[in-house]
Structure 1
């Protein structure tokens, strides 16, 4: 898997294109005013108090720190708002309990870590009543996902753990990997193989204790965060799940 990625034009595509490493997460300055506000944000419970712009956003390139740029198609304000308000009411005048009011929207930019380093990216900025920090949603159309250069591995013994995503900064040598396992497994370990342009992770479930006679395992699926220590920071290397061959995005999944 590591060899296939290191020698593949797909890795060059990863380095030349736009691939964000940050989740689109809102962290208002000073934190949320209440638990109800935080719950509303997590649940996508918003109410629109202003008309969204009808006009298409102006052509705006992505800017990297080294001076390079890339211009990609942009999404409308309505498309971006649809990402944050995930429980729209049929009646726009109906005020939902604990909904966060959106009182303004403008086109601007936001800072994002990408596979090519930090960048300034076109974004729609939504003003939320009571908060000074706007809620930014990237306006760049994500486009097609990077297709792995090799097919996924066959899980012949049923011991492969599914990996969902990452937590950690590119300049850190420790990252959290979200992995899934069953109720009767003994947990998950993640093996690491570091290359010049890749970090390949392979999740394995550990055998658990034998169930009591006559007892069985439930079908519950559990997620936990496994800490992975690297010999050097991730940097601009692509992090790959060895089982699927796919790049792991930052901020996907939640560990427990």
Structure 2
């Protein structure tokens, strides 16, 4: 049974009470350290002419625009689910039209897809809420777990600039419109004579969670203790040497800062 202690006036002793709450329980999670080699960068009709005329380019920064996540149950393996993810990156480049001239800032879009399989348990309960009213469909589906992807902006490890035969590229057919609008310009039917490929180092945490009733307090963070078995091909030796930045996903608590200050002042 949960331990509880009644509060009395003028009683300075600490007390602890367990209460039941609705919360998202993490059933399974994995951390990944991926080296993404030779991702093509797509440019709009306004930016591609600058890339075609450039003598050299340099990758300045890469940040995540969005991650599209889809969860599907795994056949013949109850309780397990595949999490399909597509990462969209905004790539900022410096294009040098000739040696010694100032760089021209350019932005493009790149993307990458991957899949992991995690355990998410099973649930068949049907939940209805009073917040939506009686006339609307107020049923909350609980059969599928919720996938949460945490990510920090990737590291640009390499950038390649290559000639390509005259052709028509149509990245708009694979890049959603809401992603393209963040760069501006038209991404369909763009004439291309030079292409850009980048290599990224990517850190992610993927979690499968469900709404459950639980007792609090809870004292520990839920930190993944395994990596998924996904492989991107040939290893990137430099990226292997970088440790997983767990502190970026799980910031330190106040007590840890106090311990550090206490040890330094002592």
Shorter-chain TM range is under 0.3
Q: Which has more strand, going by share of residues?
A: 2
Which structure has more relative contact order (CA 8 Å, sep 6+)? It is 2
Rg larger in structure:
2
